A and B are shown apart, each in its own frame.
Chain A
Amino acid sequence: MTQELKLAVFGGVLPGTLTGLAMLAAWILRARKLDREARSSANIPDSIRTRPGRGPVWVAPLVLAVGYLGADYATNGVMKLWPDGNTYRFPHAALLLGLVGVLEGVLGGGLARAVGVAVARAAALAGGYWMLVEGYHDAGTITDSTFYGGMGVVAVGGAWVIGLAELGAASASARVIAPLAALIGAACIGLLFASGYALVAQSSAVFVAWGVSTAMAAWIVWLYGRRRGLHANARVVWLDRGSMTVFAGLVVLHAVGARFHTYPEPHGAPGLLLIALAPAGLAVLGLRGLHEPERSHDWRAGKARIALALLAILATLGAATVPILLDQPSDDAGGTSDEYDGYYPG
């Protein structure tokens, strides 16, 4: 199996399928449960009827993290409990984010939860940063100030990015969030160009495939649920309360990986910062509070928020590509053709 085919199958098709099936099963079971409860409580007045909870939202972050873990292993062929090289620790960082994402999905509401979740996200990002960068710090190629300062920036800044992405994901169903997330995932191909075409150990390519496939799988589940009438009683597929922690958190950590795992410097390093900020554009969807745009009485306002969110994300990603593409190395190997184009096997 060629590297590209392996990437497509294990990085995209399999995790996408896994994500779709798991979310579909969870939401179908949820819909049936609500149907049974609705039938059994048909005589209870609406005013005192218990509102259904948000459903198994924890399934999405769990399956996202597990899907990424499998995707990275199948593509890289390396999965050690504690790998020697920092470039092989993306699955471990994903697992950490997935743990926080699942906790977000099962914990209740309230201020304490909100504060705890924010702290947990920052801690997960700091832990992921440490996993990916500590070997370079130990080798002396990164100073203490860069290492610890970067950890602080990634933890606090990344938690803000996740929080803003979650705000948007709480305001719109997968109908809106999934395509926008797929767009962000696809644009992360900029990480490849920034990191100098590393395809394997830096895991940039598998993230692109994983990001697009899992997001679109969530959208397909939403579409199926709409056709089958799941939306009547079950809350439609949502990607908040943990899913964005995994998705946006991995965008941030992949930007960290591209920054530090590239020798000597990534191409267009400022672009990596903008890629990391892109998921925050989803927050535009929540500008007018936690309303579902498609259920808003003001449809134009809902569509306007979607358009603004799309514009914000495109503008951020577009701005990211400029320094990255401008900083690509020129072919100074001699001759008139770039023989490196034929380097990739298969």
Chain B
Amino acid sequence: MKSLSKTSLIASAVLLGSAGLLVGWTSAGSTAIEATTADITARQATPYTVEAVHSNVVFKIRHVGASNFYGRFNEFSGTVGFDEDAGELVSVSFTIPMGSVDSNNARRDGHIKSGDFFNVGQYPTATFESTGYAATGEGTGTLTGKLTFHGKTREISADVVDIGTGDQGGTAKMGFEARFAFQRTDYGITTYVADDGGEDGPLGNTVQIIVSVEAARD
């Protein structure tokens, strides 16, 4: 009887100890997870303002299935939330006045701004608001967000490369390049699209955007 009781007590103690360890360990783990999440959300996103004079926004579209045509936007503005410690983007906000499109031909610019394409009078700006960023390597990542263009808002995902930092005259700078593509028919621009919605029509359906940003710390 005494031995059985002792065995029971030892077994109980072992069980209780194990349970306690298990509870303690999981609590510690969740605390660690909570702490990580809290670190992320509370990560310092140093605000930077995009310098248009040192940045570029370029678009590429297929022309009659034969060549790639490039154009640019000469005006834009934005802000970047940058984690200087991690060297990662936290948030990006961008606005492009669509009337600043430049295709190196005044008549074509007028056509692009008209109701056939951008319809600038009705949709004067395009905007991007990021919703998340995931680093994929040193200075690279994937930036997701909502692109509002031609009256429609769609979720897009951009590949970010060449995140870098620098200094100009005592002003801290950061920069990156983001590339993404979308189907212009998704935004209601169907002029000169091939019947199959592909790239072999008078103008391709896929538009590729390259945004090269340099921003200065506020």
Contacts and interface: CB of A to CB of B under 8 A. Distances in A.
Contacts of A198: 111, 114-116
A346 B114 contact: no
A200 B188 contact: no
Q: Chain A CB within 10 Å — which of B107, B108, B123, B152 has the most? A: B107
Given A77-B190, A345-B192, A331 B121 contact: no
Interface string B86-124: 000000000000010000111110110111101111111
A298 interface: no
Contact of A85 (B64, B99, B113, B151): B151
B113 to A, nearest CB: 4
A87 B192 contact: no
B200 to A, nearest CB: 11
A141 B115 contact: no
A201 interface: yes
B191 interface: yes
Interface in A236-272: 260-264
Contacts of B107: 196-197, 329, 331, 333, 338, 340
A195 B117 CA distance: 13
Interface string A103-146: 00000000000000000000000000000000110011100000
Given A3-B202, A198-B114, A330 B106 contact: yes
How many of chain A's residues touch chain B, expressed as a range? Answer: 35 or more
Nearest to A329: B106
A213 interface: no
Contacts of A141: 121-122, 124
Contacts of B151: 84-85
Contacts of A333: 104-107
Contacts of B64: 345
Contacts of A19: none
B110 A197 contact: yes
Contacts of A330: 106
A139 B190 contact: no
A290 interface: no
A340 B105 contact: yes
Contacts of B119: 85, 87, 201, 261, 263
Contacts of A346: 202
B18 to A, nearest CB: 63
Contacts of A339: 105
A338 B107 CA distance: 9
A82 interface: no
B116 A135 contact: no
A78 interface: yes
A202 B116 contact: yes
A86 interface: yes
A334 B108 CA distance: 13
A87 B150 CA distance: 12
Given A87-B119, A141-B121, A263 B114 contact: yes
A340 B105 CA distance: 7
14 contacts: A3-B202, A76-B190, A141-B121, A196-B111, A196-B114, A200-B116, A201-B119, A261-B119, A263-B110, A264-B113, A264-B121, A331-B105, A333-B104, A334-B104
Interface of A: 3, 76-78, 84-87, 135-136, 139-141, 195-202, 260-264, 329-334, 338-340, 343, 345-346
